[in-house]
Structure 1
Amino acid sequence: MAISLNIPQERELARLIDYERSTCSVEGELVYRCAFPYRPDDELQAELIDAGALAAKAEGKRGTIVVITSDGYSFFLERNRAERERVRREKRDARLIGLSALFAALCVVAGFLLGRFLA
């Protein structure tokens, strides 16, 4: 994952992305990117800029604006992909442990039967 965000940062980024999708898209397709006002007193916005989810850009007439970066757009996709991968690994590990336990039980039974019949 390219960036790491805490819960309030994630919520703010999700809010900005949802706002952009609802106001800047037509039939689900993003037509243009929204520019948000830069607020130097907003601590959360500054944290998102530092994390790389937002970028501040100087505009001539409007002053400084804030836009969502490509890392900001892909943050939730990457987080979901990483979660799916973690679940897949956990299931694989559980299957391996189960198969190992079954093999061990078969070995114990085979050893017991061999010891019983050969003794």
Structure 2
Amino acid sequence: MSLQLNLAQERELHRLIDYERSLCSANSDPVFRCAFPYRPDNDLQAELIEAGALNVKNDPRHGTIVVISSSGYSHFPEKARDEKAEYDRARRDARLIGMTALFSAVCMAVGFLLGLIAR
């Protein structure tokens, strides 16, 4: 995952993306990218800019604005993909442990039966 965001930063980024999708799309297709006012006194916005989730742009008509970066847009799909991969690894490890336990039990049973036959 390229962005390392804390919970408050993720919530703010999610809010901005939802806001943009609700206002800047038609028939679920993005029409244009929303711009948000740049607030240098907003610590959360400054953290998102520093993390790379937001970009600062100079607009001749509106002054300094903030837009969501491509890393900001891809943060949640990447996070979901990483969580799914981790879940798949955990399931694979659990299956491997289960198969090992089963193989061990079968080996013990065969050994016990061979011990009974050898008497």
Q: TM tier, shorter chain? A: over 0.9
Q: Say whether 1:22 aligns with 2:60.
A: no
TM-superposed CA distance for 1:17, in Å, is 0.3
What's the secondary structure of 1:33's corresponding residue? Answer: coil
TM-superposed CA distance for 1:57, in Å, is 1.0
| Runs (5+) with no aligned partner, structure 1 | none
Number of equivalenced pairs: 119
What's the secondary structure of 2:65's corresponding residue? Answer: strand
Matches within 5 A, 1:1-119: 1-119=1-119
Instruction: Give distance in 2, aligned partners of 1:61 and 1:108.
Output: 79
Letter in 2 for 1:6: N
Cα deviation code 1:59-108 (max 9, x no counterpart): 22321110000110010101111111111111111000000000000000
Instruction: Give distance in 2, aligned partners of 1:105 and 1:6.
Output: 45
What's the secondary structure of 1:65's corresponding residue? Answer: strand
What's the secondary structure of 1:107's corresponding residue? Answer: helix
Q: CA RMSD in A?
A: 0.7
TM, length-normalised to structure 2: 0.97
Give percent identity, aligned residues only: 60
Letter in 1 for 2:58: A
TM, length-normalised to structure 1: 0.97
Letter in 2 for 1:33: R
